[in-house]
Each structure stands twice: as C-alpha cells, then as structure tokens.
Structure 1
Amino acid sequence: IRAHSVAVLGAPFSKGQKRRGVEHGPKVIRDAGLIERLSNLDYPVHDFGDLSFPRLEKDEPFMHVPFPRTVGTANKLLSGAVSSAVGAGHTLVMLGGDHSLAIGSVAGHAQQCPDLCLIWVDAHADVNTPLTSPSGNLHGQSVAFMLKELQDKMPDIPGFSWMKPFLSSRDLVYIGLRDVDPGELCILKNLGIQYFSMRDIDRLGIQRVMEVTLDHLLARKQRPIHLSFDIDAFDPSLAPATGTPVNGGLTYREGIYIPEEIHNTGLLSAMDLVEVNPVLGASREAVEATAALAVDVIASSLGQTRLGAHATLEEIPSAKDTEQLRL
C-alpha cells in the first residue's frame, strides 16, 4: 500500500516543556538518514524543511503554565502548514520538537480530515488540563486541547483562542502508558477512553493490542489515521535521548509492529515523531541510537518491512542464463 507522496516538516520547538535541546530533534532525525530511507520506499519525498517559530518578548505564565502564548502561536502556525500539506495530497511526517506540537499537528490534519482518528503511542497520556497538571508544562496537556468532552474543563489559555476542540474520546487510543498522573487517570476512566498500558501489552501481546486498537477505531468506518509517536514510548535502553524517560517501555519489536500494522491499513494520513532530545543523550552513540530508532518508526509507518522488499525481483534467476554470470 503506497501513498502518493510524503511531506516531511520539521518543528524545532521546545517551549511545551522546560528542558532545552528538543528543538534539535528534526536535525538529528534527518541526519540519521530519514529522507534517503523514505526515498528508498519509492515515494516522492518532499522535505519542506523546518518551520521557524516567532520568539515572543512577553509571555507571562498563565496559572502555572509556562509560555502559553509561545506554544499557542507555534501550534497555530504548525496547524496551517500541516493542513496545507495534507490538503495537497501528501502523507505528512512532522518531526518535533516536544509533544505540545501535536496540538497544531492533529488540529491541522483535522481541518482537512474531520473524521480522523488518533493513535497516541507514549509512556504518558498527555491529557492533563491546566487544573490537573502537576508541572504546568503544555507537552503534558496536548490531548486535553483536542477533546470535545473536556471543553468545559479547559480554561481560556492565552494564545489558544484559534483552537476549538475537534476530537471525540471514542476516536482516540493510547498505547504504551506507564506514567499517568491521577488527574489523567480520572479523565481516561470518566471519558471511557481506550488505552493499553505496558501491563496490558504484557498481558495481551502487541498483536492483540493492535487488533483491538484498529477494530475500535475502524469498525464503524474506514477513516484517516493520525499517529502521534513519542519516542519515550520505547524503553530508555533503546531511546535514551529524551526528556521524560520511564523504565519498562516498548521493545524494539513491539515499537516497530505498531507502525507496521498502521501502514497495513492503508489509512495513515499524518504522523508526528516527537521528543528526541540530543542534548540529553549521555554520548553521541546514545543520540544516534535514539535518532535511528525514530527513522525506523517513520519508515515502518510508510511501508518499510522487516523482510525487505521483494518487488524488485519478480522471478528466480535461471541457471540457463549463465552466460551473463561469466562476463
């Protein structure tokens, strides 16, 4: 199953949280060979480069939420860019940056595909509101902005007047959760959101998790999928260069099976790969391993298989054709 073309868009942004470095994520993911890898899958690949986000001089915290206007403005800009790329018929790959960028990415995608569904692969649920968030950081509140059911639980945050919630809680599935705040668990339970914690993956196996996920989202009708993949879903032994690592994450094989299965639906329409932070890698090797893993996830989402491509060779060469071998 092939998309017509892929658009890659970098979003070097870090103000959804307080650690510096994650703004360099797009560069290290590209340096790990992303564009070449996608070109090998026989897509036209359009690299739209990196967005440049305005620096706001004055951006006072709102309640205990830092940089609200900076994050809101950046996401408004990103949503327009994502909407244009998806509207032009590309499958979009957004490279973060921190996970607050999913606000603009999924919102822009939803402008073009209002019936989309969202698969959120992450150690964290990112569904705090400013009233439940222990840290105030907006990268832990992205999903709360999207959910219609939380509309009356979200205060009016400066910088976000452009943003209207667009997603129903039944159109979202989480995979990989293992560090969820009390307020978030309350939201998951109250809204009846489908989620698979790491314990659920232990119990069911990743194959069953993906089967139930896709059934939950697609049984009523086939619709565009948005995959939002936080690299910290993986175990920190595999993806050390990230801001909020949590032990006991996805294995390499589990983390690759997820995008493979999403690709096999033929419905992936846009994806985010976020929270790769090269400054937090203990060594160059740690950073390169994390970035290489990000490339593997993206390529698997777009049809790279673990068996390799066999379309290049249609039939077994015959021993009768030995003349060519002697030359």
Structure 2
Amino acid sequence: MKRSSSQAHNKRLTQATLIGLPTDVGASRLGAAMGPDALRVAQLGPALERLGVRVHDLGNLAGPANPRGARDMDGLRNLAECLRWNQIAHDAVLQVLEQNRLPILLGGDHTLATGSISAIARHCRAAGKQLRVLWLDAHSDCNTPASSPTGNLHGMPVSSLCGLGPKELASLSGSIPALPASAFCQIGLRSVDESEKHMIRELNLEVYDMRAIDELGMREVMRRALAGLFGPGSEDIHLHLSFDVDFLDPDIAPGTGTPVRGGPTYREAQLCMEMIADTGRLASLDIVELNPALDMRNQTAELVVDLVQSLFGQSTLMRTP
C-alpha cells in the first residue's frame, strides 16, 4: 500500500538517536538480545530518514552476558546483570536527552524501560517538565519481588518505577518513586496476574485493556489516553512511549517471547501510532521484546518499523495538525 509522508511537527522528531541494548537478562526466554539488529536489518534508520528525521545510531552498547541464573534469596533472577544493563540504558538515554535529541532505545527485554524512564524522569525534573508515559503491552509489568511467579525482572519495570520494585532499580532516577503512578497509561493489557490486578487498583493506574478497546474502539481509547497533550500548557509535557512488541496480536507479530492472543490488529496499532504522532509531543521511545529467534523471516521487525514510521508522521493522506 502506498502512503504519502507528512513531516512530524514536533521539532525534536527531526533528530533521533538509536541506542542498541542487546540483552535478555530480564526475560523468560533467550532471543530478545537480537532485537536491535533485527530492527536494523528491517531498515529502521533509513525508514526514519525518509521522513526527514536525522538519525544517529550509537550501535549496540556492551553489557554483561545473560548468566541464566537461578533465583537469588529474594526470588529474583539476574538482578546484578539487570541493574547493570539498566544503568547503561539510563546513562545513554540521559546523554541523548541532554543533546536535545530524541532517544530510541532498541531492546532487549522490557526490564530496560526501568533505566530509560528513570533517565527521562530525572531529565524532566531538571527541566521542569511533566512526564506522560504510554505503556503499550499485553502485560501490566506490575509484579514485585514478593508477587512475581517467575522472578523475571521484565515483569517488574512499572512497579520499580513506582517505587515498589527492587530498591536498586527503583532508585535509578535519583528519586523514589521515579515518577507517580498517575503518569502512566497502559494500553492493550490482556494477561494480568491476580497480584498485578491488586497492584493496578492500589496504584490507581490508568488502564485500557483489550475489553476497553473492544467496547470503546481504539480511537476513543487513544483520545482519552492523549487528553491534555493538545493546546495551551501541553508544551511542558514530555511524552514517552514504551512499546512492547507483545502489545500486538501474535497473528501479525509472532516474534516476541511472551505472546498473548487477542491483541490489537494492524489497523488498530497503526491508528494508535498515528494519533500519538498527531500530538507532536513524542520525545522518547522504547522498542522492546522483539525476539527474532521466534519470528518468521523478520516479519515482526518489519511490521514494527512500519508502525514506527506512522509514529513519526507517515500517514495515508496529508493531514494538517
């Protein structure tokens, strides 16, 4: 399908830095460490450059190997390695933000969002900006060390950022919590543990699960999720998107380690990205949990690149902001 390109109207979108973080230390399955290279094979950088984005690629940053360790005394797996990778993510994202460029974290598993969002929260505090986080995911990632059935840290970034995860991760931003739970909006949930349901209620997280999307439609869900990002005062909002590939239905995106049936369709996902682009407020992005080992001919990475193009302003027709 041919689509014309529209220039994104947030000036920060014109300069972006790709940060490869090739690790799966927080995940239940091996393979997400190959995600950054799969996105490069799918031509993420050139696709953004065709939209007028000046792209700088830092390459893949180095960090500890996955020891595939047993649980520690607190029931966690690979905590030391996860902490190191998240510190690497934090430092790289913060440096890119200080250069007034848009960081695009290429994961890697979703544990890395703890580091990236901690850096963004630190940056927003210093700049006097309000942080808004859209969390596109099949899972709520609200487990704690006490409630996690697996001990895998990719199930704990939201609780860690809200100050309830392992202290070493919760304190990365220099403040506990890194940001208030009210800053989060989770979209696409359809696999949530009983303990996580309790945590969602306790934190009063804004959540639009798949039933909400079925009942309201993606347009209305995104309208509500993006409320406040238009008009006077919105220039002080930093919009961050944390995009877990398992947000998508596995029929169209099989290359992920924890697929859950019944996710958004291609068109629903594309509308989601186009409406985020319409705000002109996107200032940072995580792309995580892409697992090429489980994919077919890199089709999931290619789909993700297509959706990211929509996120950066590509649409079927020219539209005025």
Give structure 2 stretches of 5+ with no counterpart.
1-8
Q: Which amino acid aligns with 2:28?
A: K
- CA separation of 1:14 and 1:58: change in aligned 2, threshold 3 A: closer
Where 2:226 maps in the other structure, the secondary structure is helix
Deviations 1:33-77 (A, max 9, x none): 111100000121111111111348897724221000100111011
Q: Which amino acid aligns with 1:224?
A: H
Contact 2:21 2:36 in 1 (8 A): yes
Which of residues 136, 141, 145 in structure 2 aligns to 1:126? Answer: 141
Contact 1:273 1:298 in 2 (8 A): no
Q: Distance in 2 between matches of 1:220 and 1:190?
A: 32
Q: Which amino acid aligns with 1:295?
A: V
Q: Distance in 1 between matches of 2:41 and 2:193?
A: 35
Q: Which amino acid aligns with 1:141?
A: M
Partner of 2:195: 183
Where 2:241 maps in the other structure, the secondary structure is strand
Which of residues 145, 153, 160 in structure 1 aligns to 2:160? Answer: 145
Q: Which amino acid aligns with 1:276?
A: L
Q: Distance in 2 between matches of 1:184 and 1:219?
A: 35
Which of residues 42, 59, 65 in structure 2 aligns to 1:49? Answer: 59
Partner of 2:14: 4
> How many residues are treated as equivalent by the alignment?
301
Report the more deviating stretch, 121-130 or 159-168. 159-168
Q: Distance in 2 between matches of 1:57 and 1:179?
A: 27
Q: Which amino acid aligns with 2:240?
A: H
Q: Distance in 2 between matches of 1:238 and 1:259?
A: 16
Q: Distance in 1 between matches of 2:212 and 2:300?
A: 25
Deviation of 1:216 (Å): 6.2
Which of residues 81, 85, 110 in structure 2 aligns to 1:74? Answer: 85
Deviation of 1:156 (Å): 3.6
Q: Is the counterpart of residue 192 in structure 1 residue 192 in structure 2?
A: no
Q: Distance in 2 between matches of 1:309 and 1:194?
A: 29
- CA separation of 1:307 and 1:120: change in aligned 2, threshold 3 A: same
Deviation of 1:88 (Å): 0.5
Q: Is the counterpart of residue 17 in structure 1 residue 27 in structure 2?
A: yes
When the two structures are superposed, what TM-score results if normalisation uses the length of structure 2?
0.88
Partner of 2:248: 234
Deviation of 1:95 (Å): 0.8
Q: Is the counterpart of residue 116 in structure 1 residue 131 in structure 2?
A: yes
Q: Distance in 2 between matches of 1:218 and 1:181?
A: 34
Q: Distance in 1 between matches of 2:242 and 2:170?
A: 20
- CA separation of 1:190 and 1:25: change in aligned 2, threshold 3 A: same
Q: Is the counterpart of residue 209 in structure 1 residue 221 in structure 2?
A: yes
Q: Distance in 2 between matches of 1:176 and 1:62?
A: 33
Give structure 1 stretches of 5+ with no counterpart.
311-327
Deviations 1:166-213 (A, max 9, x none): 111111100000000111110111221110000100000011001111
Q: Which amino acid aligns with 1:302?
A: F
Where 1:176 maps in the other structure, the secondary structure is strand
Deviation of 1:256 (Å): 1.3
Report matched runs for 1:265-276 at 5 Å. 265-276=279-290
Where 2:18 maps in the other structure, the secondary structure is strand
Partner of 1:37: 47
Q: Distance in 2 between matches of 1:33 and 1:252?
A: 19
Q: Is the counterpart of residue 293 in structure 1 residue 303 in structure 2?
A: yes
Q: C-alpha root-mean-square deviation of aligned residues, in Å?
A: 2.2
Report the more deviating stretch, 171-180 or 84-93. 84-93
- CA separation of 1:154 and 1:229: change in aligned 2, threshold 3 A: closer
Deviation of 1:126 (Å): 0.5
Q: Is the counterpart of residue 61 in structure 1 residue 75 in structure 2?
A: no
Q: Which amino acid aligns with 1:127?
A: C
Deviation of 1:297 (Å): 2.2
Q: Distance in 2 between matches of 1:259 and 1:249?
A: 15
Where 1:224 maps in the other structure, the secondary structure is strand
When the two structures are superposed, what TM-score results if normalisation uses the length of structure 1?
0.86
Q: Distance in 2 between matches of 1:207 and 1:25?
A: 29
- CA separation of 1:121 and 1:58: change in aligned 2, threshold 3 A: closer
- CA separation of 1:169 and 1:220: change in aligned 2, threshold 3 A: farther
Largest Rg, 1 or 2: 1
- CA separation of 1:259 and 1:252: change in aligned 2, threshold 3 A: same
Deviation of 1:161 (Å): 5.7
Partner of 2:112: 101
